[in-house]
Amino acid sequence: MFYAKRRICITLGSNINSPDELDKIIKTSYTEDGDFIPSIFARSFDIERYDDAVREADFYEEPSNSLSRLLEGFSYDDVIIPEFISMYGGDILTKKYNAVVLLYNFIYEGTKKMISISDTEFEFLGSAKYM
């Protein structure tokens, strides 16, 4: 887990009830002294730190198993959609997801590929170049 310029990590979420629930899970904060406090998402994946300024996330009312639909509208989608479709072997995923978390300039090298937080599940899809 480290800084990697022009790399992106994609994690998909399912069974998330609302945009507020997603925000609560991915929200980072800082102590009064300025020390980073990882989000529930980061702690669950054993991520010590990432740059929250280059993170994007979205919640969808209607779950989808289309990778292109889930990634459409994010920064560099014209690059990351074909990259991840190629990596995954197609556009159709094995299950439906209703949230996406993108970490830019980051590579996840942890062993956890799927985590549960209450009733929600997050699955690490992979990492690729976006520029």
Structure token pair of residue 21: 């629930």
Tell me which H or E stretch contains 63: strand 55-66
Taking the domains of the chain in order of start, what are their residue ranges?
Answer: 2-129
Instruction: State how far the Cα of 129 lies from the Cα of 60, in Å rounded to an integer.
Output: 25
64: number of Cβ within 10 Å: 16
Q: Place 1 in a pLDDT band, splitting at 50, 70 and 90.
A: very low
pLDDT > 90: percent of the chain: 79
Q: What is the pTM of this model?
A: 0.92
User: Mind listing the pLDDT tens digit for each residue in 53-109?
Assistant: 899 999 999 999 999 999 999 999 999 999 999 998 999 999 999 999 999 999 888
